Amino acid sequence: MSSVMLPWAIYTLDSIAQPICELSFPGSMDAASSPDETIVPIPPLPQEIMPERGAFRERLCNTNERLESRILMIQTRIHRFPHRLRGIGGEHKSYIVPSVVAIGPYHHGQPHLQEMEEVKQAAAYRLLQGLGCTVEEVYQKILSVASDARRCYDDALPLVEGSRLSDAEFADMLFVDGCFLVWYLTSNHFDDPLLQWCNQSSGPSLTKDIFLLENQIPWLVLDALMELTKKDVRQFVKEKGAFVLSPTTENNRWWMQWGCIRNRHTDESREGTGAANDMEHYKQPPHLLALLRSVLICNMPKEKRESQLRRINIFPSLSIGAIELVQSGVKLTASASTAMSGGFADMKCQKKKPFFFGELSLSPLFLNDAGVSWLVNMAALESVEKASPARGDVDGYVVSSYLSMLAMLMDREEDVHELRSSGVLNSIFSNAQTLAFFKCLGQHLCPGYNYFNTLDEIDGYMRERPLRIAVHRFVYNNKKTIAAFMSFIGVLATILKALYSLKKP
């Protein structure tokens, strides 16, 4: 029989003989106690395994302070991609890891991104040369914000060549990455051969990479550079977001395809603050991805921009595809609220005259590789920081609500086709690819109050009109048969009319 060494077997007899407390159990016959109690000695912990109380207390205090600091900085931190959404990108992590350029420390130094390091350095040189700024002047500006910028990242930054980035290396990285972004986002595509080469060789990938959640630098770095260079990146983000997610003309799609949508005016149109006069309400975002989300939803009504709960207990369990919705008399339409108008992710279900059938209007969406990546990363941003104030009746899941609604409407490929036909969805992907993406996305997203508010509107329509819905569904499903029958009746009536006219004297 094998022996088992119990934890207390190492105690000495003396330690066992000195109990630190006494426990009472029923059933004892000890004379010194009541008939229903027995005294059981509990040995103390050996002195060598007792924690050092002072060090332990200090560790608890430091942990608490560190977490408090993280919570206070949650709106300005550069977050990691949330674990519960990592299944969306599959094994390749295409929505997390940049494909051509690293911005910030999280992916800095990765082998497959080294080619762009030379381009970033050349871009920094071109930016400063064109503006007449010295490297020392700009570098000192970066140094003044470097320590604050470092606090925006996780404590455990990744290793680069086996070691952590020193403060000097971190400042060098901010300098190069920040100058590259300002150069790329504000330079004229037609005037700079290096920028032309970047766009032609990897334009769409660059467009995707600079808006990844883990591929950001703090806004305070960009703000310091914009103050020196008199250039503003916000105009580019406004134009880029509008064109990529809701292109309306073939010309815009051509620009979007090559990743070179930018202000086609001169650089002077961006200098100073004139280009950003209409952007005061998102003047200080934490980073470029947050700025992109802000410009896309800035003109939505406040309650929708915050994803505000309309009324308590409105969480219907309704799940309905696009085809079934149309069969029920709810017409799908593309709303006038688009990414260009700052009303992206808007959705609303309402009754329409004269027969009071329903209409579900959603912001139109164009999907390509860059757009899909942006949507996933904006949803991830909402998940990690909840962009709205910390109140119980708002949750900030604006983009997540919109994507959850689209995912609910897609049960089969015919639903995707119906959304395309209605103008709500346009995509370079096939119906099968689009369906697979949204079904995977819907499994991981957290639907927000905007989603449940709209679902409540649809559910209310369905509950109030059961007879009308049944009639409409019958007509919709048998419209070909009904049309053929009506044609037959028309032909029969014509024949009977002709026969009747022949019988007249």
Q: What is the pLDDT of residues 491-504, one digit of tens each?
A: 878 887 777 777 76
**Is the per-residue pLDDT at 367 higher than 70?**
yes
- Residue 8's pLDDT band (cuts 50, 70, 90): very low
Band (pLDDT 50/70/90 cuts) for residue 337 is confident
On whether the CB atoms of residues 98 and 107 are closer than 8 A, the answer is yes
Average pLDDT of span 270-285: 50
The two three-digit tokens of residue 340, written as one number: 């260009």
12-26, 146-160, 174-188, 408-422 — which is least confidently predicted? 12-26
* pLDDT reading at 15 higher than 70: no
pLDDT at res. 244: 75
The whole-model pTM stands at 0.77
> What stretches of 330-429 adopt beta strand conformation (E)?
330-334, 347-352, 357-362, 365-367, 425-427
Residue 490 counted as domain residue: no
Query: CA 414 → CA 112, 367, 368, 402, 481, distances in Å?
Result: 40, 18, 20, 20, 20
pLDDT tens by residue, 198-247: 888 888 899 899 999 999 999 999 999 999 888 888 888 888 777 777 75
113 lies in the same domain as 162: yes
Q: Which tokens belong to 79?
A: 């977050």
- Would residue 502 count as lying in a domain? no
**Residue 348 belongs to a domain:** yes
State mean pLDDT over 276-294.
Answer: 74
Instruction: Give 392's pLDDT tier (boundaries 50, 70, 90).
Output: low
Which pLDDT does position 256 carry in this prediction? 45
Residues 269 and 120 in one domain: yes
E strands, 234-380, in order: 330-334, 347-352, 357-362, 365-367
% the chain with pLDDT above 90: 35
Per-residue pLDDT tens over the stretch 70-101: 555 566 789 999 988 988 876 667 899 999 99
pLDDT, mean of residues 360-376: 92
Task: Write down the residue that tokens 């309402």 correspond to.
Answer: 350
Note whether residue 187 is domain-resident: yes
Highest mean pLDDT among 102-116, 153-167, 273-287: 102-116
35 and 159 share one domain: no
In a domain, 198, yes or no: yes
27 pLDDT above the threshold of 90: no
201: amino acid identity, one letter: S
- Paired tokens of 345: 């992710």
Q: Domain check: are 224 and 109 in the same one?
A: yes
Q: Which residue in 480, 478, 479, 457 sits closest to 325, CA to CA? A: 457
Per-residue confidence (pLDDT) for residue 380, from 0 to 100 = 95
Residues 97 and 185 in one domain: yes
Asked if 440 contacts 382 with a C-beta cutoff of 8 angstroms, the reply is: no
Same domain (yes/no): 112, 37: no
pLDDT at 20: 45
pLDDT value of position 365:
92
State yes or no: pLDDT of 391 exceeds 80: no
The pLDDT tens digits for 204-213 are: 899 899 999 9
Please tell me whether residues 350 and 432 are part of one structural domain.
Answer: yes
CB burial string 439-453: b at 16+ within 10 A, e below: eebbebbbbbbbbbb
Q: Give pLDDT, residue 265.
A: 38
Q: Are residues 269 and 380 in the same domain?
A: no
The verdict on residue 455 lying in a domain is yes
Q: Are residues 136 and 255 in the same domain?
A: yes
In a shared domain, residues 272 and 363: no
CA 503 to chain centre: 76
69 versus 383: the higher-pLDDT residue is: 383
Find out whether 195 and 187 touch, Cβ atoms under 8 Å.
yes
Q: How many domains does the chain have?
A: 3
Residue 431 resides in a domain: yes
Share of the chain above pLDDT 70, in %: 71
User: Do 96 and 209 belong to one domain?
Assistant: yes
Q: Is 431 in contact with 413 (CB distance < 8 Å)? A: yes
Supply the pLDDT for residue 262.
45
Confirm whether 366 is domain-assigned: yes
Q: Who's near 4: CB < 8 A, 6+ residues apart?
A: none
Residue type, 193: P
pLDDT at 10: 44
Q: How far apart are CA 252 and CA 72, in angstroms?
A: 41
Give the rounded distance of the alpha carbon of 217 from its chain centre: 17
Averaged pLDDT, 55-79:
71
Question: Which pLDDT score is estimated for 505?
Answer: 61
Containing structural domain, residue 349:
305-464
Query: Rounded mean pLDDT of 380-396?
Result: 72
pLDDT score of 482 more than 50: yes
**Between the ranges 27-36, 59-68, 293-302, 416-425, where is the mean pLDDT highest?**
416-425
Looking at the structure, tell me whether residues 141 and 259 fall in a common domain: yes
What are 394's strand-pairing partners? 308
pLDDT of residue 350: 85
SS3 302: helix
How far is the C-alpha of 126 from the C-alpha of 269, rounded, in Å? Answer: 19
